[in-house]
């Protein structure tokens, strides 16, 4: 398949309509191993990973994808990674947001972030809020970073927020109320979740929003993930049929 991409890549829904992925998620794994393979510091791998992220936002836009959500830093990363590495990642995040501001303006990228901000340094919170505020009017692809984020924490926080709001949490209303109190209530569900680096798990990423997502795992390390690899994932997505609990119709080639 050509590495130039094809925005027409799509998949067939239960109604038989062909629809390409609108919301793409990334678990960007493999930066440290990429650096270790080259006998470089792990921090060098994270810097290369930031370049890959910049490339991927552009490629997603070219392929007609409207939202991209990336797992930048988990709550577990903050607790268990060495302090020096965590500080480097946070500094890199602030630097990336500042350096990419002109690029986001040029391509009308709308930046957003999700996660627990109360566990982040003030300068990181300020950078996230500034990028969100200054790109809120952009009409292009939505680029979202999950920072100090955990899927279980998001659901727990949503339940706590709903309880504080004194809303109806009876069985018939509970799912809607939780959804309305997530970190970004208007965020659409994931269509396709890609994890690089060879691991085959969700690692507590977007557990609510990825409930019906197609999952794609690749051994390619994140700094090496390029247009060709993205197109392979989209091509695989185009072969699948999303049924959301129904059975495939005969027209889809499945058993009734």
List the catalytic residues: 29, 77
Closest residue by Cα to residue 100 from 76, 70, 121, 120: 70
Q: Are 35 and 41 in contact (CB under 8 A)?
A: yes
* Cα 167 from Cα 215, distance rounded (Å): 34
**Torsion-angle region of 113 (φ positive above 0: left; ψ -120 to 50: alpha; else: beta):** beta
- Burial string for 151-187 (b: 16+ CB within 10 Å, else e) reads bebbeeebeebbeeeebeeeeeeeeebbbebbbeeeb
Contacts of 53 (CB under 8 A, 6+ apart): 28, 70, 96
Please give the sequence-ordered ranges of beta strands (E in DSSP) within the chain, or none if there are none.
11-13, 18-19, 23-27, 67-74, 110-114, 142-149, 192-195, 214-217, 241-242
- 3-class state of residue 110 by DSSP: strand
């Amino acid at each position: 398949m050509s590495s130039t991409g094809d925005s027409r890549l799509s998949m067939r829904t239960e109604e038989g309509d062909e629809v390409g992925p609108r919301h793409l998620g990334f678990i960007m794994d493999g930066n440290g191993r990429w650096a270790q393979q080259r006998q470089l510091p792990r921090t060098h791998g994270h810097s290369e990973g930031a370049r890959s992220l910049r490339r991927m936002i552009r490629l997603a836009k070219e392929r007609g994808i409207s939202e991209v959500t990336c797992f930048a830093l988990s709550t577990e990363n903050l607790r268990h990674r060495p302090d020096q590495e965590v500080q480097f990642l946070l500094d890199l995040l602030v630097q990336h947001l500042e350096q990419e501001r002109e690029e986001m303006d040029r391509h009308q990228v709308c930046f957003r972030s999700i996660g627990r901000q109360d566990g982040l340094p003030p300068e990181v919170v300020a950078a996230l809020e500034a990028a969100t505020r200054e790109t809120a009017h952009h009409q292009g692809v939505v680029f979202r970073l999950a920072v100090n984020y955990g899927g279980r924490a998001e659901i727990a926080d949503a339940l706590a927020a709903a309880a504080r709001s004194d809303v109806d949490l009876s069985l018939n209303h509970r799912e809607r109320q939780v959804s309305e109190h997530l970190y970004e209530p208007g965020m659409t569900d994931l269509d396709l979740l890609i994890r690089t680096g060879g691991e085959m798990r969700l690692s507590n990423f977007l557990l609510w929003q990825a409930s019906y997502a197609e999952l794609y795992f690749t051994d390619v390390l994140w700094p090496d993930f390029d247009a060709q690899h993205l197109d392979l994932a989209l091509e695989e997505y185009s072969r699948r049929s999303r049924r959301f609990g129904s059975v495939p119709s005969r027209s889809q080639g499945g058993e009734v």
